[in-house]
Structure 1
């Protein structure tokens, strides 16, 4: 069963989709911490679920977990939608939107801790919020990411076309005239991207991990952080947006070099060499690695 919650935020509202836990049996641990999921750039929460019950979020709900999926401001069912008049970036997600959703989940689920789970750039935003907001750390049960990287150092023709030419050069020009990146209109992604958010991601991907608004240095701050149990998952055919080598670089940068790591590849025993989006949307995932994710959460 799914239910939408709309959380007041500035002049609009944030959409949080609750995928309710199914009681599997009397032996199910009803004290399980809920799971909060965050999408990446040019995306929204639907990467984790569908109304018909597909996706990782729905799968975990079927395994007895209460799952909450956030649409960041302007995306998905959050309002108002991103437009030329939209002026927020990723800093607002880190310092305001994610904490608002996290606090709601704690209260709504009557929980002491929340599992954090992210896809792609959502993992960078979650990590940034965890590093910066000390009060949240004791309330995070674990940290799981799919294809998350902070920098893109891999060199290839595909990376040159997708990142160096389109994301770093063409996309900013498009936003200069449109006011935002109409990714859904041009079939570049699931959802639109604000100009400020785009420019901030460009700075972080190719530069230092420093907040553009107040110069907070995440690279320095992370040196003193204790992380919860963490797991980084990468796809063998994720050539650019979450290349396995870049995922490992993020692990090292966060001081999580010894965290759990899984490469979704045939040579590792999986049914497919997974792509960036396919890790969550491929039809084989539900019987391939989704059960491993459930088993991992069951450790807690």
Structure 2
């Protein structure tokens, strides 16, 4: 590895967000990179101690990278439990602004934000709700980010209609949080309220805050989005279906940015899916390398 790894914790309200810093041995980019993970996962989707993942890839090439664990996930304190709940609105209104402001103040430079899956949705919501954050963001990159799952079929009925929309709320009532890791349908657990807050949007309800009614769709029309690049995967047929990704981009206005479909027919080395777009060994010499060049030119 050509970078060093360390951990720090950012205090927000009555909890702490774990930040994994990937510091390059030789810095080669002025802009810090913030990485935000999706639902039922944590920031390790972007890194590990052996130097794998997009975060490590960019750090080895001169970028100062911070991979954040959302509240209750990863190494953040406390963990999701019956005693610690956390909502989607808290993530939008407290956590994401705190993370962006923290890195902006630390580096005195705008932040490049990279989001996987649902993190792209809450990131867009946060930037739309708080216009003062917008000048602090240099670029947005999303991987498989969608708000509504419109596709049908057996997998959708099983994984979304049954597991996410029906079984998961029942598990939240039983345990006080979503034990996705224990039940083996996710890499990490979720606070109960966060899970419940996502269901309406996934089903296609309006892009409006379920807690206070803030209209994110309307706010997005006034956003002057930074440069952006959005990836979808050819074999991602449910959690980030290319059609749902494009619908999310159109809804927010992020479709003014660059869009890439990852698959062999599109000239890539592998037919990627929702997870392998960030974890497959071929990604380093494929779209990771393209992204590195693009980031160093913005």
Give TM-score scaled by structure 2 length.
0.96
Please give the root-mean-square deviation of Cα atoms over the aligned residues, in Å.
1.2
Unaligned runs of at least 5 residues, structure 2: none
CA distance in 1, matches of 2:121, 2:101: 19
Instruction: Compute the displacement of 1:9 (Å).
Output: 2.4
CA distance in 2, matches of 1:86, 1:204: 23
| Structure 2 residue aligned with 1:127 | 124
| Structure 1 residue aligned with 2:47 | 49
CA distance in 2, matches of 1:46, 1:86: 22
1:70-89 Cα offsets, whole Å, 9 max, x none, are 10111111000000122211
| Structure 1 residue aligned with 2:196 | 199
CA distance in 1, matches of 2:55, 2:189: 22
Check whether the contact 2:85–2:177 (CA below 8 A) recurs between aligned residues: no
| Structure 1 residue aligned with 2:95 | 97
How many pairs does the alignment contain? 294
Q: How does 1:176-215 map to 2 (within 5 A)?
A: 176-206=173-203, 207-215=205-213
Matched, 1:282 2:285: no
Matched, 1:80 2:78: yes
Check whether the contact 2:32–2:109 (CA below 8 A) recurs between aligned residues: no
CA distance in 2, matches of 1:204, 1:22: 42
Matched, 1:10 2:13: yes
CA distance in 2, matches of 1:205, 1:292: 31
Unaligned runs of at least 5 residues, structure 1: none
Q: Secondary structure at the match of 2:140?
A: strand
Check whether the contact 2:116–2:143 (CA below 8 A) recurs between aligned residues: yes
Check whether the contact 1:181–1:194 (CA below 8 A) recurs between aligned residues: yes
CA distance in 1, matches of 2:254, 2:18: 31
Give TM-score scaled by structure 1 length.
0.95
CA distance in 2, matches of 1:287, 1:234: 17
Q: Secondary structure at the match of 1:253?
A: helix
CA distance in 2, matches of 1:213, 1:158: 30
CA distance in 1, matches of 2:121, 2:256: 18
Instruction: Compute the displacement of 1:111 (Å).
Output: 2.6
